[in-house]
Amino acid sequence: MVGNPANTNALIASTYAPSIPKKNFTAMTRLDQTRALSLIADKTNAKIEEIENIIIWGNHSATQYPDTHFATIKGKNLRQLVNNDKYLDSEFISRVAKRGAEIIDVMKKSSAASAAAACCEHVHDWWYGNQQGGWVSMGVIPSEAHYGVDKDLCYSYPCNIVDGEWKIVDGLKLNEF
Element (H, E) at 140: strand 136-140
The partner residues of 136 in beta bridges, in order of sequence, read 159
CB-hemisphere CA count at 13 Å for 11?
A: 16
- CA–CA separation, 80 vs 64, rounded Å? 23
130 CB-near residues (< 8 Å, 6+ apart): 136, 160, 161
CA distances from 4 to 11, 41, 140, 152 (A): 12, 27, 15, 19
124 is catalytic: no
Q: Pick the catalytic residue from 60, 69, 122, 146.
A: 60
Active-site positions read 60
